[in-house]
Amino acid sequence: MPQAQDVDAASDRLSGVAARTPLQPSGRLSAATGHQVWLKREDLQVVRSYKLRGAYNLLAQLTAEQRARGVTCASAGNHAQGVAYACRRLALHARIYVPRTTPRQKRERIVALGGDHVEVIVVGDTYDAASAHTRQDARNTGAVLIPAFDHPDVIAGQGTVTCETVDQLGRAPDVLVVPVGGGGLLAGALTWLSERHPGVRVIGVEPAGAASMAAAVGAGEPVELDELDGFVDGAAVRRVGEHTFAAVRAHGVELVQVDAGVLCEEMLDLFDADGIIAEPAGALAVAALRTLRLDGSGLSVVCVVSGGNHDVSRYADVIERALISKGLKHYFLVEFPQEPGALRNFLDHVLGPDDDITLFEYVKRHNRETGPALVGIELGEAEELPALMARFEASPLHSRKLDPDDPAFSFLL
């Protein structure tokens, strides 16, 4: 396991390579929580995430013989960008495997950062599938495997986020909130703080649909998740690392999970109110403040905004999930009589004055008396739902509300 001195050494190694990202106070979040909230802006890193720190720290320590063999890695996008940038700085060659779910924006950034020093290979539907191909590549070619999180030097590199934060703040924060995927950033924070500032409350935040660290803690060892929600692509890891879990087990940590809808609400607030473009994994730590219980008042709380490699084409999905999470967007299957005036009757007697139809899919069939329509309705206020349901009940239309856990709902998101 790495030690605090390894993190300090990594900090020296990264000087002039990784940016010293800003630590910014957040008036919005401070007012909402009653605490002094600070944002560690790793989304402003040269590769728009903290992943450069661990990748460079490992690559910079390779021997001449290892450098000659080249390197390979798997990544959902951010680690790959860190490896690409580091390889260009160190004149190394890398083969980088990414899953098909990696946004095009991240793939293009990998190539832009690495140039002729990287070869990007798209394979599999998850990070774990890409990782399996990387391991096979290393066995076949002798290339050095550069893990995204499960290596002592990677952990030490990620730990520099924490020691840099403390230096900028001028003291250790009362609470440090970090996102968790494979656990490298969390393990690095725990490694350094356990020796330098053991009184800091460290909270790890996982996606509710990919809580692999919580599963490992519950089982007493890293285990594979049976199901994995890939929406938070930068933190959707089916199994955490042996080294990262060892750090969590040795030092202990509080783990919480954030629902994708709540995460999307925070992503939009970061964008609209703060001008911060955070990817889903990048907003995890900040989103946790919506549900975290922090006793007392005036605590110094640092949240790591861990990445800003967000594909803007995904914002429609983010907005949709946020509206559903807020209770503003609802979907119904409505049986309409196939007769003139049916839609007008629906608009006049069911839809409220502030309600908006956002989706209406209906095909008239001449051999039936009724036909189903999929109707999406956005409310002016979430509290208006009971009144809408009452109007549906009073109307002659047969309808069924689609809840997020309904299998049919998966076709909408």
The residues assigned a catalytic role are: 51, 306
- Spatial separation of the C-alpha atoms in residues 134 and 137, rounded to whole Å: 5
- Number of Cβ within a 10 Å radius of residue 214: 18
Contacting residues for 176 by C-beta, under 8 A, at least 6 apart: 162, 165, 189, 193, 200, 201, 202, 203, 301, 302, 304
Phi, psi for residue 145 in degrees, rounded to 5: -80, 125
CA 295 to chain centre: 26
Contacting residues for 171 by C-beta, under 8 A, at least 6 apart: 300
Nearest-5° Cα angle at 104, 140 to 177 = 90
Is the Cβ–Cβ distance between 99 and 107 less than 8 Å?
A: no
> Exposed, middle or buried, 378 (CB in 10 Å: 0-12/13-18/19+)?
middle
